[in-house]
Structure 1
Amino acid sequence: MSFKDQIGFVRQHIRRNRLRVFMTVLAATMGTAFLIVLASVGFGLQKTIKDDILSNQMVTQIEVYSEDMTDAKTDAMKEIGHVEAVVHRKQLVPVVMGEVEGHTGSMNTHFTNFGDEQASGFRLADGRFPENQGEAIVGSKFAQQLVDESVETAEDEEPAYYEGELIGKTVNLSFSEAEDGAETMPLTIVGIKEEPGKDWAFDGYLYVDQSLIGPMETAYAAASAGLPEGEDMPFTSSQVNVYADDLANVKAITQTLKNDGYSVYSVSEEIEQIDVFFLALKAGLIFVGTIAILIASIGIFNTMTMAVTERTREIGVMKALGAGPKLIQRLFLMESAWIGLVGTVIAVVISYGVSFAANAILPIVVDAALGGETGDSFDVTFSVIPWQLVLIASAISLSVAMISGWRPARKATKTDVIGALRHEL
């Protein structure tokens, strides 16, 4: 019997029992669709969390920690393959006060190399980068820490923060230990840093060129002269960030820095931990979904068993005409596989439709349930169906269908010819 004839034989018997086959295909479709949609929730949540992490952080940034960081060590880091920039910021440890047009506040000051900052992706919302030693850049929230203490406010009122234009203004620095009338260090604000990606991040820093470390250390020493000696503390503390040229190279650079003895943190490590967690979650969801397919396999098994019983006489005729056991088994396995294949194709189409509807409707439903409090920032992907999930679900569905039809097919090969020819329904 040619393959075309085998297809025709299977098609003929499927048409003969349309209703029963339809119900079996429907059961296989529901089981497979349930597996895909259930597992897609795990993929959707993983995508949402990873997108949130990647959008709120400099994804190519690697934070490096060391108690004895030096410029020589940071220069050596620049020689590591695929490193685009190394930013060595030195944070001022002593308290320094700043004053802008009568508004004062404590200055969280960073000394840095602006050339390295620009190479790392440091962006300005307004103004330009410093070109002279007496120029500085301020963070996006810098004005919110400058208070006019001469304006009296009630306890339940907001202080009088600075509201003027910062570009071009002078911030006068003086150390808190300094007496009234002591010298101040004037710096001209020439740029305002772009707001950080994280909504909760407060960037009120003052960024100045690292060449000012010497003059400010001298000013601090002069301001502290005559005061009781306190604990010996460093003038600056180091903060080093290494930037890779691509996210794909972050992990390799992170490992190289670890091998060099540094303590490091990068977004790749956080994503790796998330991937491990969601891998276990998705495996569990696929396992639960597989149970639904196994339940559907009972219907396939019953359908194929009844098919063998109903075709006992036909099986006997085929055997009498010389059909071998392998051919008979193949015919019934083809019918079982057809049920699984059609059920899988329909399930995939339905699953994509359900996924699209869930991503379009559920955010609206959740926002309405919360009284519209989520606002425009509520962006959650509830369902994602990657091609790998489709392949896994299809493989499980077809495998279960073939296994369900294998036992009835084996039974058909053992049918006695004489008994089959005498069989009557």
Structure 2
Amino acid sequence: MQFNDQIDFVSQHIKKNKLRVFMTILAATMGTAFLIILASVGFGIQDTLKKEILDNRLVTQIEVYSADLDKEKAEHMKKLDHVKAVVLRQEVNGFQETTLDKYTTSSTLIVSDFGEEQKAGFALDKGRLPQSQYEVVVGSDFAESLTNEDEIEKFQAEQEGKELSEQEQAELEWPHYEGELLGQEITYEIGSYETNESYKEPVKLTIVGIAKAPSKDFISDIKLYADASLISELEAIYDRHKPEESEESLFNPNLNIYADELQHVKGITNSLKDEGYSVYSISEELEQIDVFFLALKAGLIFVGTIAILISSIGIFNTMTMAVTERTREIGVMKALGAKPKLIQRLFLLESAWIGIIGTVIAVILSYAISILANYLLPIIVGAALGEEGFGDLDVTFSIIPWQLVVIASTISISVAMISGWRPARKATQIDVIDALRREL
């Protein structure tokens, strides 16, 4: 019997029992679709979490932690293979006050090498980078941090007695410096945290640049960024005023290494670990996330497979009924010389056909549900939580990669074939004489 004849033979028998076969296909479809949709949630959450991490961090950045980080160690790290930049930022540790005209703020000063900062991608919104000891770049929100006590008191007095809703209170704009920053001279002072007072040795600095705003709206940048050449003057002021018994340093070092490409981050990280440094990179975080979600997705696929196994009971019953109903036909085929392998193949083809059709419909249905869920769920969740704009967030609830489709299809069709194997095997064992004696 040719393969086309075998297909026709299977099709004819399927058409005779349309309702029963339809219900069996429906069960297979539901089981496979459940597996795909369930696992797609794991892929969706993983993708959303990865995007969130990558949006907030530079993917090539490696953070180095050590109590004795200095310029010498930074120079050594620059010699490592595939290192693009080594940024040693030193943050002032102590009381700080910055004044511009009648406005003051407690912004933190950071000194750094702007040659390395530029290689690492330090971006400006306006102006230029510092080129001398007394030039600084200010954070994008520096102006908002500059306040005048008299204006604040006047503003509070004006608002006193007013009944404002929570939203109106949140939208109130407190008075702050609104003039031009570039070219302005500011007065910077350091002091003691214990007394919360300045050492009264002001340093005059000129604003030459404004840093680009952080990518996330909730991150505020009010820092001052100065060249490392300013360190000596600030340390001299600190040494004149610090207690003799104090061994505390004025600066807290923070060192970041930037690889030339993402694939080299892990190699640099391992090299630094071998040298005894404590390091952290986004590649390690992504690895941990991948391991967690691999286990989660495996668990979801396992749960979904149970649904397919339940649907396989329907395939087994359908094929068992098919063998019982066609006992006489099987006897005739055997009498005409049909081999057991051919008979077994015919019934396996029928069970495979049920599995394939159910899988194809399940894949189409799953993609439709996934698209609909990604569109509707943000709106529904936003409405339920009462959070405006939730639907505009980049949250993906379901993703169906081709690998998931292959895995689900393989499991579904394999289970269908296995479910049909026992009835097919039973068909080959039917006695010819007993089969021919049976009435139609």
Classify the TM-score, shorter chain: over 0.9
Residue 331 of structure 1: which of 324, 346, 354 is its match? 346
Shift of 1:78: 2.0
Give the gaps of 5 or more residues in structure 2: 161-172
Structure 1 stretches (4+) deviating beyond 4 angstroms? 154-160, 177-183, 374-377
Task: Tell me the alpha carbon deviations over residues 262-294 of structure 1, each in whole angstroms, 9 at most, x when there is no partner.
Answer: 111112222222222222222222122112111
For residues 111-260 of structure 1, what are the structure 2 equivalents within 5 Å?
111-151=111-151, 153=153, 154=156, 160-176=175-191, 183-222=201-240, 224=241, 229=244, 231-260=246-275
For 2:318, the equivalent position in structure 1 comes to 303
**Alpha-carbon distance in 2 for matches of 1:412, 1:179:** 95
For 2:4, the equivalent position in structure 1 comes to 4
**Greater shift in the superposed pair: 293-302 or 368-377:** 368-377
For 1:104, the equivalent position in structure 2 comes to 104
**Greater shift in the superposed pair: 318-327 or 198-207:** 198-207
Q: Which amino acid aligns with 1:212?
A: L
**Alpha-carbon distance in 2 for matches of 1:322, 1:10:** 19
Q: Which amino acid aligns with 1:271?
A: L
For 1:70, the equivalent position in structure 2 comes to 70
Change (3 A) 1:137 1:102: same
Contact 1:86 1:242 in 2 (8 A): yes
**Alpha-carbon distance in 1 for matches of 2:396, 2:152:** 49
Percent identity of the aligned residues?
60
Task: Tell me the alpha carbon deviations over residues 173-222 of structure 1, each in whole angstroms, 9 at most, x when there is no partner.
Answer: 23336999955321111111112234443322111011111122223345
For residues 324-363 of structure 1, what are the structure 2 equivalents within 5 Å?
324-363=339-378
**Greater shift in the superposed pair: 287-296 or 337-346:** 287-296
SS at match of 2:214: coil
Shift of 1:159: 6.7
Contact 2:83 2:259 in 1 (8 A): yes
Change (3 A) 1:197 1:414: same
Shift of 1:97: 2.5
Shift of 1:160: 4.6
For 1:293, the equivalent position in structure 2 comes to 308
**Alpha-carbon distance in 1 for matches of 2:80, 2:221:** 30
For 2:14, the equivalent position in structure 1 comes to 14
**Alpha-carbon distance in 2 for matches of 1:26, 1:376:** 34
Q: Which amino acid aligns with 1:12?
A: Q
Task: Tell me the alpha carbon deviations over residues 295-347 of structure 1, each in whole angstroms, 9 at most, x when there is no partner.
Answer: 11111111111111111111111111222211111111111111101110111
1:401 paired with 2:419, answer no
Change (3 A) 1:180 1:3: closer
**Greater shift in the superposed pair: 353-362 or 177-186:** 177-186
Q: Which amino acid aligns with 1:219?
A: I
**Alpha-carbon distance in 2 for matches of 1:128, 1:388:** 49
For 2:81, the equivalent position in structure 1 comes to 81
**Alpha-carbon distance in 2 for matches of 1:165, 1:380:** 38
Contact 1:25 1:342 in 2 (8 A): yes
Task: Tell me the alpha carbon deviations over residues 366-394 of structure 1, each in whole angstroms, 9 at most, x when there is no partner.
Answer: 22223343446533211100111101100
Task: Tell me the alpha carbon deviations over residues 131-153 of structure 1, each in whole angstroms, 9 at most, x when there is no partner.
Answer: 22221101122233333235461
For 1:267, the equivalent position in structure 2 comes to 282
Residue 428 of structure 2: which of 397, 413, 417 is its match? 413
SS at match of 1:264: strand
**Greater shift in the superposed pair: 310-319 or 139-148:** 139-148
Change (3 A) 1:228 1:292: closer
**Greater shift in the superposed pair: 93-102 or 315-324:** 93-102
**Alpha-carbon distance in 2 for matches of 1:181, 1:340:** 81
Contact 2:378 2:390 in 1 (8 A): no
Shift of 1:108: 1.2
**Alpha-carbon distance in 1 for matches of 2:209, 2:275:** 36
Shift of 1:228: 5.3
SS at match of 1:176: strand
SS at match of 2:149: coil
For 2:167, the equivalent position in structure 1 comes to none
For 2:384, the equivalent position in structure 1 comes to 369
**Alpha-carbon distance in 1 for matches of 2:36, 2:417:** 19
**Alpha-carbon distance in 2 for matches of 1:196, 1:25:** 53
Change (3 A) 1:405 1:152: closer
**Alpha-carbon distance in 2 for matches of 1:180, 1:307:** 93
1:90 paired with 2:90, answer yes
Q: Which amino acid aligns with 1:204?
A: I
Contact 1:113 1:210 in 2 (8 A): yes
**Alpha-carbon distance in 2 for matches of 1:322, 1:383:** 53
Give the gaps of 5 or more residues in structure 1: none
Contact 1:148 1:159 in 2 (8 A): no
Contact 1:62 1:267 in 2 (8 A): yes
Shift of 1:53: 1.1
**Greater shift in the superposed pair: 414-423 or 3-12:** 3-12
Q: Which amino acid aligns with 1:184?
A: P
**Alpha-carbon distance in 2 for matches of 1:274, 1:348:** 27
TM-score relative to the length of structure 2 = 0.90
**Alpha-carbon distance in 2 for matches of 1:181, 1:402:** 83
